[in-house]
Amino acid sequence: MRERLVVLGCGFVGREVARRASASSVIGTVRGGERADSWASAWPARLDRRVVPTLTHDIVRSLVTPDSCVLVAFPPDGRTDRDIAPALAGGRIVYISTTGVYGSARGRVDETTEVDPTEPRASLRLDAERSYRDQGATVLRVAGIYGPWRGLHRRLLTGDFRIPGKGTNVVSRIHVADLAKVVLAVFEASDVLRGGTFVLADDSPVPQIEAIVWLCRRLAIPVPAEAPIDEVAPTLRHDRAVDNTRVKQALSLSLDFPSYREGFEACLSAEGINRRD
């Protein structure tokens, strides 16, 4: 990849991309405070961490060279993205968005599915997408991200989960390592992806109950109780099967964790969890 990788918003996803990158210079930004301090031990040793209170056009311009690869991976606030996007001109940019922009869409979702800008958070995301796409960014609309120490398995282990309704709604997810793999592949790809928008999830969207029961058996814990669908978090009410065909074809790649089974097995192994029924 190019000589410099700049990760704006170096959290769960950004750290994984930085860890896997082959660039000779890797810079990651994070906002100050206790959270930044608590992440310090998890940062790749080769990463130059820049703690900033707020990203501005001038700060970003000082970090990004014309041959940089830039990953933007922080949530939108309605201001920062419009301010800093012009400072990325000339770089190869990937913006991490979310399938949440599709609102209440149900069933199969792909790049042709209409977005729903009426929900405030979706509107902010769509505005941010436009800011970066205007600079040639590749936008990845990503399904639920999980990985070691983060995801459904952790909530089941802590007892902090109830089955939404009957658990029949279909959920799409992506392992953080596969997301990082796709991001780096976009950086390496030709400019044919420049300005494009892709949805990203694993190969096997399934009803929530399938993954829940599988994990509970794997962890030797009881299946949790059900909760009315309107009492769970909005992100757990979706019923969407995200189709990743276009991005995989564009990049000529396959995923390392094509379903929740491979992905959660990798999580449990990384966390040293070996329980079985």
pLDDT in tens, 194-207: 899 999 999 999 99
92: pLDDT strictly greater than 90: yes
pTM (two decimals): 0.94
Band of pLDDT at residue 180, cut at 50, 70 and 90 = very high
277: pLDDT strictly greater than 80: no
- Ranges of each domain in the chain: 4-146+172-203+241-256
Spatial distance between the Cα atoms of 85 and 93, rounded to a whole number of angstroms:
10
Spatial distance between the Cα atoms of 230 and 67, rounded to a whole number of angstroms:
48
Residue with tokens 């209170």, as numbered in its chain: 53
Bridge pairing between strands 206-207 and 170-171: antiparallel
Radius of gyration, CA atoms only, the chain: 19
Q: What is the pLDDT of residue 40?
A: 59
Q: What is the pLDDT of residue 230?
A: 84
Q: What is the pLDDT of residue 36?
A: 58
Spatial distance between the Cα atoms of 91 and 113, rounded to a whole number of angstroms:
29
Spatial distance between the Cα atoms of 203 and 65, rounded to a whole number of angstroms:
36
275 or 267, greater pLDDT: 267
4-146+172-203+241-256: in CATH 1.10.3720.10: no
- Structure confidence by residue, pLDDT tens digits, 216-268: 999 999 999 998 888 888 778 889 999 999 999 999 999 999 999 999 999 99
* Contacts with 234 (C-beta within 8 Å, 6 or more apart), sequence order: none
Per-residue pLDDT, averaged over 160-175, amounts to 94
Q: For all residues of the chain together, what is the average pLDDT?
A: 91
